[in-house]
Each structure stands twice: as structure tokens, then as C-alpha cells.
Structure 1
């Protein structure tokens, strides 16, 4: 593939532009006055053609653009978002990171993402506030405990730090958990995953956006895609609310509307969309050092660096594009959290919200080329897309540059739904944030 600005692609290149660095004095001066703060990314006129057009300005779209530029020298790239960057699923998730999945394919994939997250702040020269504090998935019955042991063994075979621990060890990690036996949902054990943690989702989005912009990528907000042009079974362009763009490569990196975008190219997706709600409390002194998940109670909770407790549950039991919270969710969530930690009953819930989750039949994503030449997809992320942002961008960039899927995403192709080679991740992805 040719790069419109820098000639043909010939492997990794040293990027020409880097995000600006500041001295300690300049940072102090910027903190006193906002008047001379530089823009995080620039605004460009919409060109009539690009080598690559990426639809979706969340973490997946921005990471794909960044790695296209830095790893493969493809800089004539446009990222289009109908709203603002990070305004979709990337700004509505609970920002929990882990790699303790159930299938070997899933474990390898998410572990690579966790490795990229570990040095992402240095790579982007932007503090993404990654807190690697550990991740606990609780087991309340014998069946759940067997699944945790199964996951632990799969994780260990893939070199991922993960083990099943007993209630005594759980109590040491999270003293506020009720690990007594005289409760409705006794805690029999947990899958403990030390590398897991939380991150600031907006910082990740801004870091990727700034670094992509510094490498020549054009970021276009408030630019809605209204159609995808094809001729002879291949992509020729994109219709937008600001005019037409000629291109030979289009990447669908949307969440919630992924089926609508794919339909524009004539590609059917086995995806359903459901809301996922979350909520946050008032800030209190830090007391929860790990991420806690209960699949039985359909709840997960973590504490931010500012002291708020962030809660989530499973997706709503219906398909919808609604992003409003509900009283039913808040009541059910509060009851389930108090089953685990009765001592926090006096904390006040400040707000709740919802995001859209694209669910596939096997709870694994759909990545790679499609029957329409030049049309690529990175969709179907369910409740776990933010964890996969870096590795998805890296893999999709390689897929586009080399015109074939890299091994790490071979199992996630669209054709698996016709061949029957599914990647069943429900046991680790349904509520296992």
C-alpha cells in the first residue's frame, strides 16, 4: 500500500513528529494560566481523498491510526467521528483492564493489550494513569469455583499470572468484603489476577489522539458517515455530512452502530446491541485496592484515584440504542453491592450512565477483512472493548499494511460464523470485567 505523504510502506519507520515535551517550569507556568496552552490535536480541512479512512474516533479507531503511522509509515489517514473523540463507548466504560480470559486465543490477545498498556504512557508521552492493582473474580458456588480453576490453568499455560485463592486470602486483599458463611451468597474463593487494574479512559483517548495527530493523521470530529461507496466488490469512497472522500481502505471501528456502518458496505454482521449501565458514588478515602467482580451477582466495582466507587453490571436484558440510566438498575446494583460490602451502605450514589455494547454469538470480537475488498472491521466488542484498544489498533494496522490478518487475530475473523470455529468467551466476558 502506498502512503500519500511518505512513499511506499517498507516496515517500521522512525516517526518524524513527536508530541511536545515540557520542562518542569513550563508545566508550572501552564498550570497558572490556560491562555497559552497548546491544542492537544489540530483541526484540518477535510481532504477529498485519503489512503485510509477510519470510522469511529474512540480508542480503537485512534489506536489503529496511531499504529498505522508509527509502525508502518502510513500517515495519510483520516479518523471520522460523528460527535467528539472518545464520546462513545471509550468515554462510557468503567476502564478496567485484565487478561484472565477463558480461551487460549482470548488470553493471548488481551495479555498483549495489557503489555502495551504497561508502557503506553512512555510511548505516547502522556500520563494515562494506569493503576495495576489486581483483579478478583469471586466464586459463590461450586460451579463458579470450577470455572475459576479452569480459567486459572488456561491463563498459566499462556504465561499469565492468575490463581485461585481462598476466602482468608480474599479478606486480606479486600477487608471490607463480607467473607462470612452466614450470608446469602457466601464467597468460596476467587480468581486472583495481579496484573489487572484500572486506567483513565479519557487520558488514553487523548494520548492516542495527540500522538496520532503529531504523526500526520487527520482527526475529524462532528463528521458523520452517511454512506460507503463500493464498485466491483471493493471500496471506493465514503459519503459524510461534510462531503465525499475517495479512499480504497475503510475501517469500521464503531461501537453501538457497527451494524449500521457495515450495512452501508453491504456486509452483514451477527451482532446485537444492548445498553450497559454503570454508576459512581461520592468520593471517600481509598479503601478498595483491587477490582472486585461477582458474576453471580452481576456486579463489578473499583475505586478511582479520586476516591469514587465505580460500579457496573451485565448488559440490559433487551436490545436498544438507549443510553439513559434506569431506577431499576440503580436499585438492583445497590442491593448486590451491599451483599458484598454491607459497610458502605451510607455512601451516596452521584450519577449513572449507559453505553452501547455490540454482542456477538460467541462473545468474541470480529476483526479483519470482509468480503468487500478494502472494507475492514474491528467490531463486536461487547462489554470488554476498552481493554483491547492497544492490541486491536496494533493488529488492525498490521492487517491493513500487509493486507492479511496477523496471527493474533486469526481466530476473530468474520468467516468463523460460517465455518463454526467459534471462540466461546461467555464464561469470562459476560460480566467478568
Structure 2
């Protein structure tokens, strides 16, 4: 894996350098001259902060902690590799058209950060704001779309309900006739929504964090978290022991396994979520299209592949194997929306793990164990929130104060009855 920042990026605090066109051509021919994107390190015996999970949330937290809050000894640990979990397995949709005011404000900040991320990281993350359509196939669904639109507008978000004729102009291949099994009555149209290259986001954050002195330790499994007097004191890994006063749980589908190590119970159930991609064809689908009734969403990459997702599997599991049942159901529902693509071939399918909470909102912030912080419970929303989650968690670590944006998502809300219900904005049935 290569990077485009030369020797300067090997030193903390240095900004990535820029290569000329000649340098890029020369390095493209002579592969051996490219330094690695991020460095390898010997595991130290102590760190100020240990972040578990080298996906977008863990890497963004490390990056913004180093960028906005000064130098610290920070380690990001992952038992696999950078972006090897859900951050490399999702369908990379970004939007902020949620249902609750708390959710809208939170995700809108993430969209704002994504809009400037390529420039901030000096790394092209390929953010394409092509528009996001959430289809309504019933009067009840249409009312929910109108509800979401009004909440969005009150928070200053570009979002509105449009009819079948306007939908047809945006997505000509969509069947908007009145004689289908599930007629399209309207849609919530969100122009700022779109897609992004998930691998590029992970690599960009890892590169930026490394340049600012963060140590990224791949193939390093956390075996236990040590506490004393209700406080975090250290982490046991398969590479040795680490002393640290702060551990941040950014492990997505395995969030409960890590929290159990310190006796903090999370109201989270893990479900597999499958996705699939077709062969590449000429680009014809500009917007992201979602149908909650049919439990499917689809977008097209710049290479021409159609990327499909659906609802989570109906059973709790840590399995990431694909199933024929998913493929059959997905194909049938997609063809009800766009019959013209029936001849396209499905190339591959995969699955990730979703940590689902009772109110479909994340769990962020402090826990009863001092020094043990969580950024979990994302369900199907995690990648959308990567930048803002990292920014706010970094602020919490540095200041000890919970930022206003994430205060509604604390763990205590479940015991106190302060749920933040986002099921109506889930887009697909969970």
C-alpha cells in the first residue's frame, strides 16, 4: 500500500507533502520507492489513550484528538487490519435526513466534515453528493416522509417530499407507474446525500493520524481490560500488557464483548447485514434510491457497479457469511423498482455486523467505569457518522466534558427513559 506524502509523513506533526505529476509517474513505475501509508511500531508499555477498533470511528477519534487537542501518546488497536470490519464492508452512503432533531444535527455535522475531508486530509475520499431518495409506497410511509422533511427543514437541512413525476426525472429507470405491486407515491429527496469511498476514508484518516504521531497497531487483539477502584488501569493484548487510564470502545458489532470485559452491560444485539454488487455497466443511476417497504437500497459506483443493501438478517449472530435467501429476496425487490436491469449479473455479496440498540440510535460517551468510553450501537448508520463521532469523542477525551452533540446518546438514557427513536429514519426495515 502506498502513500502520496513522501518522507515528511514519517514525523509527527508534519503535514503530508505534495508530489508533482513527474514524481507520481516516477513512483508509479518504481514501486519500491513508495513508503508505507502508516508506520509499524513496537507496542509500548503505556499510552495516554488506547482506542480499540481501527475502523473509521477509531481512526477519526485518534486523528481529531491529535489534530485539535495537542500531542498525546495514542494507540489504535485492531485484531485485524485498518478498515477490515464494518468500515470496509458497508455501502458507503452518507446523509443527514434523520427523524429526530438530535439525530439531524449530529449527522449534518458529519456531512459537513465529509464535504471538506479530501482537502483536510490531502487525500481524495471520493465524496459524491448525488442526492438521496427515500421512496414512499403507502400513505403511512408518505406521512413519515413529510414528518422527516419538516424536522429537516427546521434544522436547516435541504430535504423535501417530491412526487412520482419529479422522481422519474431524477431516476428515469425507476418504475413509477400506477400498476406496480408497490406503487411509488412520493419520496423524501435529500440533495446533499450521496456516497463516498469507504476505503479511502479509512486510509486517509489512518495516514493523517500517523502523520500526527498516533500509533496504529494492526493484528493486535485485546484480551482483557484491567480496572481498579472503578477506573481503567490497563489493557491486556496478545502482544503484551499496556498501562493506560483511558480506553475507547469503537468495535461496532463486537461492542458488547469489549464492554463485558469491564462489567458494563450494553443494550445491544448484533445482527448480520448483507450487501451485494453487480457487474459494471454504463452509469445510469445518479441518485441513491432507498425503499423501506421493500427493504432495499441501491446506488451506482463511478465504475458502473450497482451496490445493493437490505435490512439486517432477522437473527442475532456474529456470522458474516452470505445467504441464498438474501440474494433471492434482494433481486426480487430490486426488480420491482427497476425491471430494466433484470439481465445484469450479480458478482459478489458480503456481510457486516450491526450492533442494534432499542431506539436505533448510538451509545456514545462515558460509562460507570471511569476511563472507559464508548462509541458503539450504530446499527446501519455507523459510516455516515464517522467524522462527527471522531470529532466529538476526541473532545470528550481531551476535556472530560460531553459535547452537546452527543449528550442525547449517552448510555444512561435507557435507564432514565430518554430514548432517541430513529426507527422512522432507518430507511430499511430493521
| TM class, shorter-length | over 0.9
* 1:385 matches 2:361: no
Q: Which residue of 2 aligns with 1:274?
A: 271
Asked if the contact 2:291–2:427 (Cα under 8 Å) also holds between the matched residues in 1, the reply is no
Q: Aligned equivalents of 1:98 and 1:368: distance in 2?
A: 23
SS at match of 1:150: helix
Q: CA deviation at 1:74?
A: 3.6
Q: Aligned equivalents of 1:75 and 1:95: distance in 2?
A: 31
Q: CA deviation at 1:27?
A: 1.2
Q: Aligned equivalents of 2:82 and 2:263: distance in 1?
A: 26
**Equivalence map 1:59-74=2 (5 Å):** 59-74=56-71
322, 325, 341: which one pairs with 1:325? 322
Q: Aligned equivalents of 2:25 and 2:120: distance in 1?
A: 23
283, 288, 292: which one pairs with 2:280? 283
Q: Deviations over 1:8-54 (max 9, x none)?
A: xxxxxxx8211232112111222223221111000011000000000
* 1:41 matches 2:38: yes
185, 205, 208: which one pairs with 1:208? 205
41, 51, 63: which one pairs with 1:54? 51
Q: Which residue of 1 aligns with 2:127?
A: 130
* 1:151 matches 2:171: no
Residues 24-33 or 229-238, more deviating: 24-33
Q: Aligned equivalents of 1:16 and 1:387: distance in 2?
A: 28
In the alignment, structure 1 segments of 5+ residues that lack a partner are 1-14
Q: Aligned equivalents of 2:275 and 2:101: distance in 1?
A: 29
Give the CA RMSD over aligned residues: 1.0
Q: Deviations over 1:165-210 (max 9, x none)?
A: 0000000000000000011000000000000000000000000000
Q: Which residue of 2 aligns with 1:411?
A: 408
Asked if the contact 1:363–1:430 (Cα under 8 Å) also holds between the matched residues in 2, the reply is no
Number of residue pairs matched? 419
Q: CA deviation at 1:317?
A: 0.3
* 1:340 matches 2:362: no
SS at match of 2:273: strand
Q: Aligned equivalents of 1:259 and 1:430: distance in 2?
A: 25
SS at match of 2:414: helix
SS at match of 2:275: strand
117, 120, 136: which one pairs with 1:120? 117
SS at match of 2:373: strand
**Equivalence map 1:346-385=2 (5 Å):** 346-385=343-382
Q: CA deviation at 1:430?
A: 5.4
Q: Which residue of 2 aligns with 1:10?
A: none
Q: Deviations over 1:83-120 (max 9, x none)?
A: 00100000000000000000000000000000000000
SS at match of 2:167: helix
SS at match of 1:257: helix
Q: Aligned equivalents of 2:152 and 2:234: distance in 1?
A: 43
Q: Which residue of 2 aligns with 1:5?
A: none
Q: Aligned equivalents of 1:283 and 1:365: distance in 2?
A: 35
Q: Which residue of 2 aligns with 1:255?
A: 252
TM-score (norm 1): 0.96
